[in-house]
Amino acid sequence: MNARRLWSRILFVAGMIAMLVGALDPLEGSLLILVGSGMVALGTVVGRSGRRQIAFRVGLFIIISIGVGPMWVDEWLGSFYRPPTGWTILDVTYPLAWSVSIWGPGSPRWVQWVGILSGLWYLAILVTVLMNPTGFAGPDSLEVAIFIAAVGLLTIGGCIYRLMKRTTLRWFLPVVVALGFATVTVLYFPFFRRTESVTFRIAAPAARQVYVAGSFNHWNSQQYPLSKQPQGHWQTTISLPLGRHEYAFLVDSEWVHDVNNPNKVQLQPPLQIFNSVINVESQDSLSFKR
């Protein structure tokens, strides 16, 4: 194997691995997918893999760049500059191009097998969001999860189609079904539990309406109403993702912090305006430590 073919193979394999690892988090891993796609494209050019294969890989790299670029511009410069609304449509191009990269022409069988696992992982993301609707506070969480699941189905279908052309059905289909059952099963293990039930309670005997809002739901003041209890207490129980959250109560259109929670942050010193702080931990524990 000459040096050119060796470097071509190294770039191609390393790029594919980067794209598969980046797919574990389709949003935060997009930069790793972009780098991996560039390495794969460079590997095909270095190895002189044929005009069509070079055009295919370079084209996919360009499409992924078009999708990833605006997304990170919005992430880094969003507070200073808002891209045109049409740019958000381009965000969907990179997951689709990633999927085609995994099962498209020239992809090794090992990449397609791992691609099936990635597709199942994307389906698991949707199941997790559906099982924990309050654990994902973003307003578009469900829509994003549905799109990611669709990309997962496309990836699984593409990989299966490619593998079936080289593999006997006798053992191929049972393996795919077993992988599917394994993915669904692990969702029910406590290790994957990402939310805990938290009860919010406030004494407001004269109040007519009470809500709780916080960083866990982008301060949506109408999403979580509290129910009035005897002795003038109001309370509700919701599922929150693990981690630190700020919150406050909206009592008859007036924001108040939780007087029973000693952990709070001052918003506008020297004004006495506070948010309460909780740290949601696993194993049904709730701590007020910051």
Three-state DSSP string of the chain? CCHHHHHHHHHHHHHHHHHHHHCCCCCCCHHHHHHHHHHHHHHHHHCCCCHHHHHHHHHHHHHHHHHHHHHHHHHHHCCCCCCCCCHHHHCCHHHHHHHHHHHCCCCCHHHHHHHHHHHHHHHHHHHHHHHCHHHCCCCCHHHHHHHHHHHHHHHHHHHHHHHHCCCCHHHHHHHHHHHHHHHHHHCCCHHHCCEEEEEEEEECCCCCCEEEEEHHHCCCCCCEECEECHHHEEEEEEEEECEEEEEEEEECCEEECCCCCCCEEECCCCCCCEEEEEEECCCCCEECCC
pLDDT tens for each residue of 117-166:
999 899 888 877 776 655 554 545 677 788 888 888 889 888 888 888 76
Residue 117 makes CB contacts below 8 A (sequence gap 6+) with 179, 183
Res 87: pLDDT: 42
Res 30: pLDDT: 86
Structure tokens at 188: 């029910």
Average pLDDT, the chain: 79
Delimit the domains of the chain by residue range.
Answer: 3-192, 196-287
% the chain with pLDDT above 70: 73
Residue 49 has pLDDT above 60, yes or no: yes
pLDDT tens for each residue of 188-225:
444 445 678 899 999 999 999 999 999 888 898 898 99
Residue 165 makes CB contacts below 8 A (sequence gap 6+) with none
Residue 29 confidence class, pLDDT cut points 50, 70, 90: confident
pLDDT tens for each residue of 62-114:
999 888 877 666 656 544 444 444 445 556 788 889 999 998 888 999 999 99
Helix (H, G, I), strand (E, B) or coil at 119: helix
Using the 8-state DSSP alphabet, how is residue 62 labeled? H
Res 288: pLDDT: 39
% the chain with pLDDT above 90: 32
Q: Which CATH architecture has domain 196-287?
A: Sandwich (2.60)
Res 143: pLDDT: 75
Residue 173 confidence class, pLDDT cut points 50, 70, 90: low
Full-model pTM:
0.58
Single out the residue of 212, 204, 199, 208 nearest to residue 255, CA to CA: 212
